[in-house]
Structure 1
Protein backbone atom coordinates (compact mmCIF):
# COMPACT_ATOMS: atom_id res chain seq x y z
CA UNK A 1 0.00 0.00 0.00
CA UNK A 2 1.43 3.45 -0.89
CA UNK A 3 2.65 5.35 2.16
CA UNK A 4 3.19 9.14 2.34
CA UNK A 5 4.35 11.78 4.80
CA UNK A 6 1.96 14.73 5.18
CA UNK A 7 3.40 18.05 6.41
CA UNK A 8 0.20 19.07 8.19
CA UNK A 9 -1.35 17.63 11.37
CA UNK A 10 -3.74 14.73 10.90
CA UNK A 11 -6.16 15.18 13.77
CA UNK A 12 -9.41 13.25 13.27
CA UNK A 13 -11.19 10.91 10.85
CA UNK A 14 -12.85 12.71 7.96
CA UNK A 15 -12.18 14.10 4.50
CA UNK A 16 -9.38 16.53 3.65
CA UNK A 17 -7.34 17.86 0.75
CA UNK A 18 -3.77 16.62 0.70
CA UNK A 19 -1.01 19.25 0.87
CA UNK A 20 0.89 19.73 -2.43
CA UNK A 21 3.82 17.40 -1.67
CA UNK A 22 1.70 14.36 -0.83
CA UNK A 23 -0.80 15.20 -3.58
CA UNK A 24 1.96 15.12 -6.21
CA UNK A 25 3.01 11.62 -5.05
CA UNK A 26 -0.56 10.37 -5.33
CA UNK A 27 -0.91 11.89 -8.81
CA UNK A 28 2.39 10.37 -9.98
CA UNK A 29 1.18 6.92 -8.90
CA UNK A 30 -2.11 7.58 -10.69
CA UNK A 31 -4.19 6.47 -7.74
CA UNK A 32 -7.91 6.60 -8.29
CA UNK A 33 -10.95 7.23 -6.06
CA UNK A 34 -11.41 4.23 -3.81
CA UNK A 35 -7.69 3.34 -3.74
CA UNK A 36 -6.17 2.84 -0.29
CA UNK A 37 -3.08 4.59 1.08
CA UNK A 38 -1.34 5.21 4.39
CA UNK A 39 -0.52 8.68 5.73
CA UNK A 40 1.58 9.92 8.65
CA UNK A 41 2.49 13.39 9.89
CA UNK A 42 5.59 12.65 12.00
CA UNK A 43 3.83 12.80 15.37
CA UNK A 44 3.56 9.03 15.87
CA UNK A 45 0.20 7.74 14.61
CA UNK A 46 -0.34 6.24 11.18
CA UNK A 47 -3.61 6.75 9.31
CA UNK A 48 -5.28 4.44 6.83
CA UNK A 49 -7.04 6.47 4.14
CA UNK A 50 -8.71 6.21 0.75
CA UNK A 51 -8.74 8.54 -2.21
CA UNK A 52 -12.13 10.22 -2.68
CA UNK A 53 -11.37 12.65 -5.52
CA UNK A 54 -8.55 13.26 -8.00
CA UNK A 55 -8.11 16.57 -9.77
CA UNK A 56 -5.32 18.45 -11.53
CA UNK A 57 -4.78 20.79 -8.60
CA UNK A 58 -6.33 18.89 -5.68
CA UNK A 59 -6.39 15.38 -4.25
CA UNK A 60 -8.92 14.58 -1.55
CA UNK A 61 -8.81 11.62 0.81
CA UNK A 62 -10.92 10.21 3.61
CA UNK A 63 -9.03 9.49 6.84
CA UNK A 64 -10.07 6.39 8.74
CA UNK A 65 -9.10 5.50 12.32
CA UNK A 66 -5.41 5.97 13.30
CA UNK A 67 -3.15 3.18 14.53
CA UNK A 68 -0.05 3.33 16.74
CA UNK A 69 2.60 1.07 15.16
CA UNK A 70 5.66 0.28 17.29
CA UNK A 71 8.55 0.68 14.86
CA UNK A 72 10.81 3.15 16.70
CA UNK A 73 13.90 2.18 18.70
CA UNK A 74 13.46 1.61 22.41
CA UNK A 75 15.99 4.43 22.99
CA UNK A 76 16.10 7.92 21.47
CA UNK A 77 19.42 8.00 19.61
CA UNK A 78 20.97 11.23 18.30
CA UNK A 79 23.93 11.10 15.93
CA UNK A 80 26.22 14.14 15.88
CA UNK A 81 28.37 13.65 12.79
CA UNK A 82 31.08 15.72 11.19
CA UNK A 83 29.70 15.73 7.65
CA UNK A 84 31.37 13.38 5.15
CA UNK A 85 32.01 14.73 1.66
CA UNK A 86 30.27 14.19 -1.68
CA UNK A 87 27.03 12.19 -1.56
CA UNK A 88 28.01 10.21 1.53
CA UNK A 89 25.94 12.51 3.76
CA UNK A 90 22.83 11.66 1.75
CA UNK A 91 23.60 7.97 2.25
CA UNK A 92 24.19 8.49 5.96
CA UNK A 93 20.89 10.36 6.46
CA UNK A 94 18.94 7.74 4.52
CA UNK A 95 20.38 4.74 6.39
CA UNK A 96 20.28 6.44 9.80
CA UNK A 97 16.57 7.03 9.26
CA UNK A 98 15.98 3.44 8.19
CA UNK A 99 17.84 2.21 11.30
CA UNK A 100 15.83 4.40 13.69
CA UNK A 101 17.87 7.49 14.60
CA UNK A 102 15.72 10.10 16.35
CA UNK A 103 17.89 13.04 15.27
CA UNK A 104 21.03 13.84 13.31
CA UNK A 105 23.25 16.85 14.00
CA UNK A 106 25.52 17.84 11.05
CA UNK A 107 28.81 19.37 12.19
CA UNK A 108 31.86 21.11 10.74
CA UNK A 109 35.21 20.35 12.43
CA UNK A 110 38.89 21.22 12.03
CA UNK A 111 39.54 18.46 9.47
CA UNK A 112 36.23 18.71 7.60
CA UNK A 113 36.29 18.26 3.84
CA UNK A 114 32.69 19.44 3.47
CA UNK A 115 32.22 22.95 4.87
CA UNK A 116 28.79 24.53 4.80
CA UNK A 117 27.46 27.80 6.20
CA UNK A 118 24.68 30.33 5.63
CA UNK A 119 22.17 29.81 2.83
CA UNK A 120 24.05 26.83 1.40
CA UNK A 121 23.87 25.06 4.76
CA UNK A 122 20.15 25.81 5.05
CA UNK A 123 19.47 24.38 1.59
CA UNK A 124 21.45 21.24 2.37
CA UNK A 125 19.58 20.78 5.64
CA UNK A 126 16.24 21.03 3.82
CA UNK A 127 17.48 18.52 1.25
CA UNK A 128 18.60 16.07 3.95
CA UNK A 129 15.26 16.42 5.75
CA UNK A 130 13.61 15.43 2.49
CA UNK A 131 15.91 12.40 2.27
CA UNK A 132 14.91 11.45 5.83
CA UNK A 133 11.20 11.78 5.03
CA UNK A 134 11.55 9.58 1.94
CA UNK A 135 13.43 6.98 3.96
CA UNK A 136 10.72 7.05 6.65
CA UNK A 137 8.03 6.53 3.99
CA UNK A 138 9.91 3.52 2.63
CA UNK A 139 10.94 1.93 5.94
CA UNK A 140 7.63 2.21 7.79
CA UNK A 141 8.76 4.71 10.39
CA UNK A 142 6.13 7.17 11.61
CA UNK A 143 8.60 9.75 13.01
CA UNK A 144 11.27 10.77 10.46
CA UNK A 145 14.76 11.50 11.73
CA UNK A 146 15.04 15.20 12.58
CA UNK A 147 17.93 16.96 10.80
CA UNK A 148 19.28 19.81 12.93
CA UNK A 149 20.91 22.98 11.51
CA UNK A 150 24.58 22.69 10.52
CA UNK A 151 26.90 23.94 13.29
CA UNK A 152 30.63 24.19 13.98
CA UNK A 153 31.66 21.40 16.36
CA UNK A 154 33.17 23.84 18.86
CA UNK A 155 29.99 25.94 19.05
CA UNK A 156 27.78 22.87 19.32
CA UNK A 157 29.84 21.41 22.18
CA UNK A 158 29.84 24.75 24.00
CA UNK A 159 26.04 24.96 23.76
CA UNK A 160 25.39 21.41 25.02
CA UNK A 161 23.69 21.28 28.41
CA UNK A 162 25.08 18.91 31.04
CA UNK A 163 24.13 15.29 30.39
CA UNK A 164 21.15 14.18 32.47
CA UNK A 165 20.88 10.88 34.29
CA UNK A 166 18.79 9.47 31.43
CA UNK A 167 21.34 10.30 28.68
CA UNK A 168 24.54 8.49 27.73
CA UNK A 169 27.17 10.22 25.58
CA UNK A 170 29.63 8.32 23.43
CA UNK A 171 32.58 9.61 21.39
CA UNK A 172 33.47 7.23 18.52
CA UNK A 173 37.25 7.24 18.44
CA UNK A 174 39.75 4.86 16.80
CA UNK A 175 42.17 5.83 19.59
CA UNK A 176 39.85 4.64 22.36
CA UNK A 177 40.65 1.47 24.28
CA UNK A 178 37.17 0.96 25.76
CA UNK A 179 34.78 -0.97 23.48
CA UNK A 180 31.19 0.14 23.12
CA UNK A 181 29.12 -1.74 25.67
CA UNK A 182 25.52 -1.87 26.83
CA UNK A 183 24.17 1.12 28.72
CA UNK A 184 20.95 1.63 30.68
CA UNK A 185 19.98 5.20 29.78
CA UNK A 186 16.91 5.83 27.60
CA UNK A 187 18.63 8.51 25.48
CA UNK A 188 22.05 8.43 23.83
CA UNK A 189 24.15 10.96 21.92
CA UNK A 190 27.00 9.72 19.74
CA UNK A 191 29.66 12.01 18.28
CA UNK A 192 31.52 10.81 15.20
CA UNK A 193 34.32 12.51 13.27
CA UNK A 194 34.98 13.18 9.60
CA UNK A 195 37.29 11.41 7.14
CA UNK A 196 40.37 12.69 9.00
CA UNK A 197 38.94 12.10 12.46
CA UNK A 198 38.68 14.61 15.28
CA UNK A 199 41.76 16.44 16.50
CA UNK A 200 43.12 15.78 19.99
CA UNK A 201 41.78 19.16 21.12
CA UNK A 202 38.31 18.35 19.78
CA UNK A 203 38.28 14.97 21.53
CA UNK A 204 39.36 16.64 24.77
CA UNK A 205 36.55 19.20 24.40
CA UNK A 206 34.03 16.38 23.88
CA UNK A 207 35.23 14.55 27.00
CA UNK A 208 34.84 17.78 28.96
CA UNK A 209 31.16 17.77 27.92
CA UNK A 210 30.57 14.27 29.27
CA UNK A 211 31.44 12.08 26.29
CA UNK A 212 33.09 8.72 26.95
CA UNK A 213 35.50 7.67 24.18
CA UNK A 214 34.60 4.23 22.82
CA UNK A 215 35.99 1.97 20.12
CA UNK A 216 34.08 -0.01 17.49
CA UNK A 217 36.90 -2.49 17.00
CA UNK A 218 40.39 -2.71 15.49
CA UNK A 219 39.42 -1.60 11.98
CA UNK A 220 39.20 2.03 10.86
CA UNK A 221 35.63 2.69 9.70
CA UNK A 222 34.63 5.39 7.23
CA UNK A 223 32.95 8.54 8.49
CA UNK A 224 29.58 7.33 7.17
CA UNK A 225 30.04 3.75 8.40
CA UNK A 226 30.87 4.26 12.10
CA UNK A 227 27.59 5.90 13.22
CA UNK A 228 25.57 3.38 11.20
CA UNK A 229 27.42 0.52 12.89
CA UNK A 230 26.34 1.92 16.27
CA UNK A 231 22.71 2.20 15.17
CA UNK A 232 22.72 -1.34 13.80
CA UNK A 233 24.08 -2.67 17.09
CA UNK A 234 21.47 -0.76 19.10
CA UNK A 235 18.61 -1.81 16.82
CA UNK A 236 19.44 -5.47 17.34
CA UNK A 237 20.39 -5.37 21.03
Structure 2
Protein backbone atom coordinates (compact mmCIF):
# COMPACT_ATOMS: atom_id res chain seq x y z
CA UNK A 1 0.00 0.00 0.00
CA UNK A 2 1.11 3.55 -0.73
CA UNK A 3 1.79 5.46 2.49
CA UNK A 4 -0.59 8.33 3.32
CA UNK A 5 0.47 11.34 5.39
CA UNK A 6 -1.36 14.31 6.82
CA UNK A 7 0.37 17.51 5.70
CA UNK A 8 -0.20 20.15 8.43
CA UNK A 9 -0.63 23.15 6.19
CA UNK A 10 -1.88 24.22 2.79
CA UNK A 11 -0.82 22.02 -0.11
CA UNK A 12 -0.09 23.93 -3.31
CA UNK A 13 -1.54 22.76 -6.60
CA UNK A 14 1.82 21.64 -7.96
CA UNK A 15 5.58 21.85 -7.49
CA UNK A 16 7.66 20.70 -4.56
CA UNK A 17 7.12 21.18 -0.84
CA UNK A 18 9.38 20.55 2.13
CA UNK A 19 8.05 17.93 4.51
CA UNK A 20 7.68 19.07 8.13
CA UNK A 21 10.26 17.55 10.46
CA UNK A 22 7.86 15.11 12.13
CA UNK A 23 6.41 13.91 8.83
CA UNK A 24 9.87 13.53 7.28
CA UNK A 25 11.13 11.58 10.30
CA UNK A 26 8.18 9.19 10.11
CA UNK A 27 8.61 8.65 6.37
CA UNK A 28 12.40 8.31 6.33
CA UNK A 29 13.31 6.86 9.72
CA UNK A 30 10.21 4.91 10.79
CA UNK A 31 8.78 3.65 7.49
CA UNK A 32 12.19 3.80 5.76
CA UNK A 33 10.79 5.09 2.50
CA UNK A 34 13.36 5.67 -0.23
CA UNK A 35 13.94 8.49 -2.66
CA UNK A 36 11.39 8.39 -5.47
CA UNK A 37 8.81 6.25 -3.69
CA UNK A 38 5.14 7.19 -4.18
CA UNK A 39 3.16 8.71 -1.33
CA UNK A 40 -0.16 10.46 -0.77
CA UNK A 41 -0.54 13.75 1.11
CA UNK A 42 -3.74 15.30 2.47
CA UNK A 43 -4.24 18.52 4.40
CA UNK A 44 -7.44 17.58 6.24
CA UNK A 45 -9.65 19.91 4.23
CA UNK A 46 -10.83 17.34 1.70
CA UNK A 47 -9.07 15.69 -1.21
CA UNK A 48 -5.58 14.26 -1.50
CA UNK A 49 -2.49 14.68 -3.65
CA UNK A 50 -0.34 12.03 -5.29
CA UNK A 51 3.33 12.73 -4.63
CA UNK A 52 6.82 11.28 -4.81
CA UNK A 53 9.34 11.43 -2.01
CA UNK A 54 12.50 13.42 -2.68
CA UNK A 55 15.39 12.87 -0.27
CA UNK A 56 18.21 15.38 0.06
CA UNK A 57 20.57 14.46 2.86
CA UNK A 58 18.49 14.16 6.01
CA UNK A 59 15.66 16.33 4.66
CA UNK A 60 12.53 15.13 2.89
CA UNK A 61 10.51 16.82 0.18
CA UNK A 62 7.45 15.88 -1.87
CA UNK A 63 7.10 16.37 -5.59
CA UNK A 64 3.40 16.99 -6.00
CA UNK A 65 1.33 15.36 -8.71
CA UNK A 66 -2.38 15.06 -9.35
CA UNK A 67 -4.86 16.31 -6.79
CA UNK A 68 -7.94 14.15 -6.34
CA UNK A 69 -11.20 15.24 -4.76
CA UNK A 70 -12.23 12.15 -2.83
CA UNK A 71 -14.90 12.24 -0.13
CA UNK A 72 -14.76 9.23 2.16
CA UNK A 73 -16.84 10.83 4.91
CA UNK A 74 -19.90 9.15 6.35
CA UNK A 75 -23.28 10.66 5.43
CA UNK A 76 -24.03 10.64 9.17
CA UNK A 77 -22.89 13.45 11.45
CA UNK A 78 -22.30 11.47 14.62
CA UNK A 79 -20.62 13.01 17.65
CA UNK A 80 -19.35 10.33 20.02
CA UNK A 81 -19.63 11.63 23.57
CA UNK A 82 -17.28 9.39 25.54
CA UNK A 83 -16.94 9.47 29.32
CA UNK A 84 -13.26 9.37 30.27
CA UNK A 85 -11.84 5.86 30.43
CA UNK A 86 -8.62 4.76 32.10
CA UNK A 87 -5.36 3.49 30.62
CA UNK A 88 -5.09 3.46 26.85
CA UNK A 89 -8.81 2.86 26.36
CA UNK A 90 -9.42 6.43 25.20
CA UNK A 91 -6.73 6.05 22.51
CA UNK A 92 -8.50 2.91 21.29
CA UNK A 93 -11.90 4.61 21.26
CA UNK A 94 -10.62 7.64 19.33
CA UNK A 95 -8.76 5.53 16.78
CA UNK A 96 -11.61 3.13 16.06
CA UNK A 97 -14.32 5.82 16.14
CA UNK A 98 -12.44 7.71 13.42
CA UNK A 99 -12.18 4.52 11.35
CA UNK A 100 -15.95 4.06 11.78
CA UNK A 101 -16.66 7.53 10.38
CA UNK A 102 -17.46 9.63 13.45
CA UNK A 103 -17.71 13.38 12.81
CA UNK A 104 -16.30 14.47 16.17
CA UNK A 105 -15.47 13.16 19.63
CA UNK A 106 -16.46 14.90 22.85
CA UNK A 107 -14.74 13.62 26.01
CA UNK A 108 -16.75 14.21 29.18
CA UNK A 109 -15.97 13.83 32.87
CA UNK A 110 -18.53 11.60 34.55
CA UNK A 111 -19.03 10.99 38.26
CA UNK A 112 -17.72 7.42 38.05
CA UNK A 113 -14.87 8.09 35.62
CA UNK A 114 -11.73 6.42 36.93
CA UNK A 115 -9.52 8.85 35.01
CA UNK A 116 -9.48 12.46 36.21
CA UNK A 117 -7.96 15.22 34.10
CA UNK A 118 -7.64 18.97 34.46
CA UNK A 119 -5.41 21.87 33.51
CA UNK A 120 -2.18 21.23 31.62
CA UNK A 121 -2.57 17.47 31.92
CA UNK A 122 -5.95 17.63 30.18
CA UNK A 123 -4.53 19.84 27.42
CA UNK A 124 -1.66 17.42 26.75
CA UNK A 125 -4.01 14.46 26.64
CA UNK A 126 -6.33 16.32 24.25
CA UNK A 127 -3.43 17.06 21.89
CA UNK A 128 -2.45 13.40 22.04
CA UNK A 129 -5.97 12.24 21.20
CA UNK A 130 -6.12 14.66 18.28
CA UNK A 131 -2.91 13.15 16.92
CA UNK A 132 -4.44 9.68 17.32
CA UNK A 133 -7.32 10.92 15.15
CA UNK A 134 -4.86 12.19 12.53
CA UNK A 135 -3.07 8.84 12.42
CA UNK A 136 -6.40 7.02 12.09
CA UNK A 137 -7.26 9.22 9.09
CA UNK A 138 -3.92 8.39 7.48
CA UNK A 139 -4.65 4.68 7.87
CA UNK A 140 -8.33 4.66 6.95
CA UNK A 141 -8.24 6.97 3.93
CA UNK A 142 -10.26 9.82 5.42
CA UNK A 143 -9.34 13.25 4.08
CA UNK A 144 -11.10 15.28 6.77
CA UNK A 145 -9.93 15.04 10.35
CA UNK A 146 -12.59 14.74 13.06
CA UNK A 147 -12.13 17.16 15.93
CA UNK A 148 -11.56 15.92 19.46
CA UNK A 149 -13.24 18.63 21.53
CA UNK A 150 -11.86 19.84 24.87
CA UNK A 151 -12.90 17.85 27.92
CA UNK A 152 -16.07 19.05 29.68
CA UNK A 153 -18.03 17.96 32.75
CA UNK A 154 -21.08 15.98 31.64
CA UNK A 155 -23.91 18.03 33.15
CA UNK A 156 -22.78 21.48 31.88
CA UNK A 157 -22.20 19.97 28.44
CA UNK A 158 -25.72 18.53 28.45
CA UNK A 159 -27.13 21.94 29.31
CA UNK A 160 -25.32 23.45 26.30
CA UNK A 161 -26.78 20.91 23.83
CA UNK A 162 -30.24 20.66 25.38
CA UNK A 163 -32.86 19.90 22.73
CA UNK A 164 -30.42 18.53 20.16
CA UNK A 165 -30.87 14.95 18.98
CA UNK A 166 -29.01 12.41 21.07
CA UNK A 167 -28.97 8.95 22.57
CA UNK A 168 -27.51 7.72 25.83
CA UNK A 169 -26.51 4.07 26.12
CA UNK A 170 -28.07 2.67 29.27
CA UNK A 171 -28.02 -1.12 29.68
CA UNK A 172 -31.51 -2.33 30.46
CA UNK A 173 -32.84 1.19 30.31
CA UNK A 174 -34.46 1.48 26.92
CA UNK A 175 -34.99 -0.03 23.48
CA UNK A 176 -32.64 -0.36 20.52
CA UNK A 177 -32.09 1.98 17.58
CA UNK A 178 -34.61 0.10 15.45
CA UNK A 179 -37.60 2.15 14.37
CA UNK A 180 -35.80 5.48 14.83
CA UNK A 181 -36.02 7.93 11.94
CA UNK A 182 -32.80 8.74 10.12
CA UNK A 183 -31.27 11.82 11.76
CA UNK A 184 -31.03 15.14 9.95
CA UNK A 185 -27.94 17.01 11.08
CA UNK A 186 -25.75 16.09 14.03
CA UNK A 187 -26.63 13.31 16.44
CA UNK A 188 -24.90 12.72 19.78
CA UNK A 189 -24.24 9.27 21.22
CA UNK A 190 -23.33 9.21 24.93
CA UNK A 191 -21.20 6.41 26.39
CA UNK A 192 -20.73 5.99 30.13
CA UNK A 193 -17.53 5.30 32.10
CA UNK A 194 -16.29 1.99 33.52
CA UNK A 195 -18.59 2.35 36.54
CA UNK A 196 -21.63 3.30 34.49
CA UNK A 197 -23.86 6.36 34.69
CA UNK A 198 -25.34 7.48 37.99
CA UNK A 199 -29.09 7.92 38.27
CA UNK A 200 -28.55 11.69 38.49
CA UNK A 201 -26.60 11.67 35.22
CA UNK A 202 -29.27 9.63 33.47
CA UNK A 203 -31.88 12.07 34.75
CA UNK A 204 -29.81 14.94 33.32
CA UNK A 205 -29.68 13.13 29.97
CA UNK A 206 -33.47 12.71 30.10
CA UNK A 207 -33.91 16.40 30.87
CA UNK A 208 -31.70 17.32 27.90
CA UNK A 209 -34.01 15.34 25.63
CA UNK A 210 -31.65 12.41 24.98
CA UNK A 211 -33.31 9.04 24.53
CA UNK A 212 -32.09 5.97 26.42
CA UNK A 213 -31.08 3.09 24.16
CA UNK A 214 -29.63 -0.37 24.68
CA UNK A 215 -27.55 -2.67 22.51
CA UNK A 216 -29.23 -5.86 23.69
CA UNK A 217 -29.14 -7.98 26.83
CA UNK A 218 -25.35 -7.98 27.28
CA UNK A 219 -23.36 -5.27 29.06
CA UNK A 220 -20.52 -3.79 27.00
CA UNK A 221 -17.29 -2.34 28.31
CA UNK A 222 -16.99 1.41 27.87
CA UNK A 223 -14.37 1.03 25.12
CA UNK A 224 -16.66 -1.39 23.23
CA UNK A 225 -20.06 0.25 23.63
CA UNK A 226 -19.49 3.37 21.54
CA UNK A 227 -17.87 1.46 18.70
CA UNK A 228 -20.73 -1.03 18.63
CA UNK A 229 -23.24 1.83 18.55
CA UNK A 230 -21.38 3.54 15.69
CA UNK A 231 -21.39 0.30 13.71
CA UNK A 232 -25.15 -0.08 14.26
CA UNK A 233 -25.82 3.50 13.11
CA UNK A 234 -23.61 3.11 10.04
CA UNK A 235 -25.40 -0.10 9.10
CA UNK A 236 -28.83 1.42 9.70
CA UNK A 237 -28.42 4.92 8.26
CA UNK A 238 -24.86 5.32 7.00
CA UNK A 239 -22.59 3.83 4.34
CA UNK A 240 -22.10 0.26 5.54
Q: TM-score under structure 1 normalisation?
A: 0.91
Runs of 5+ unmatched residues, structure 1? none
Equivalent residues of 1:32, 1:54 under 8 A apart: no
1:225 alignment partner, SS class: helix
Paired position in structure 2 for 1:177: 174
Measured on the aligned residues, the alpha-carbon RMSD in Å equals 1.6
The residue that corresponds to 1:236 in the other structure is: 235
CA deviation string 1:70-99 (max 9, x = no partner): 322111111001111111111111111111
Matching of residue 96 in structure 1 with residue 97 in structure 2 = yes
2:210 is aligned to 211
Question: How many pairs align?
Answer: 232
Structure 1 range deviating more: 213-222 or 153-162: 153-162
Distance (Å, rounded) in 2 between the aligned partners of 1:176 and 1:39: 45
* Offset of residue 159 of structure 1: 2.3
Structure 1 residue 51 corresponds to structure 2 residue 53: yes
1:9: how far off? 1.9
| Structure 2: gaps spanning 5 or more residues | none
Spell out, residue by residue over 1:123-145, the C-alpha distance to the aligned partner (whole angstroms, 9 max, x if none).
Answer: 11111111111111111111233
Report the CA distance between 1:204 and its aligned residue: 1.4
Q: Distance in 2 between matches of 1:69 and 1:154?
A: 38
TM-score (normalizing by structure 2): 0.90
